[in-house]
Amino acid sequence: MSNKKNMTAYAAVSKGIIEKVTLPIPDPDDYEVLVKNEGCVFCNTTDRMIVDHLYATPDYPVIFGHESFGKVIKVGKTVTKYKLGDRVICTNAIVNGYNGTYYSSWGGFAEYGIAGDLEAYLADHGQLDEANRYRGRYRANSIIPADFS
């Protein structure tokens, strides 16, 4: 039996159908941080296109929500860009899918997400290898200034 804790997320499970789902909390690797999402809004273009299967996303089911923000609660050992307590935008609920079933197109409509430190990864590897080239963890993750309420 696994001791892995779960989170709640909202996924488009088929065209036009959104359901509440329970999934394992993502586990960040050495170049990632775990973020406790604080909020997400439904984007009437990108998210609507994902739900209506008009956007180039993985097959259903897919966790949507790219207008998200949250607080870093766990930091991978080689991360240099983020520290505990930083607030970031555009986290990913899932990286490379869960057993080929659930995917994430950003994934802000989940309790937790992952953000990646591209600079640290490139410093160690020189470039993204094929397996990491399209991993969402490196998409648009930015730190929100501390004085931004």
Contact partners, residue 47, CB within 8 Å, separation at least 6: 64, 65, 66, 67
Instruction: Give the model's pLDDT for residue 137.
Output: 58
Residue owning tokens 């989170």:
7
User: Residue 53 class from Cβ within 10 Å (0-12 exposed, 13-18 middle, 19+ buried)?
Assistant: middle
Instruction: Decide: 66 and 115 in contact? Cβ < 8 Å.
Output: no
Instruction: Give the model's pLDDT for residue 1.
Output: 44
CA distance 99 to 91: 20
pTM of the predicted model, to two decimals? 0.85
How confident is the model over 112-139, as pLDDT tens digits? Answer: 988 888 888 889 888 876 666 555 556 5
Residue 37 Cα distances to 15, 65, 67, 108, angstroms: 25, 11, 11, 7
Instruction: Give the model's pLDDT for residue 34.
Output: 93
Task: Return per-residue pLDDT of the chain as tens, 149 residues.
Answer: 456 799 999 999 999 999 999 988 988 889 889 999 999 988 888 888 888 888 766 678 888 887 889 999 999 999 999 999 999 988 887 765 655 677 777 788 999 988 888 888 889 888 876 666 555 556 567 888 888 87
Mean pLDDT of the chain: 83
Instruction: Give the model's pLDDT for residue 95.
Output: 60
Q: Which of these, 33, 57, 143, 32, lies nearest to 107 by C-alpha position?
A: 57
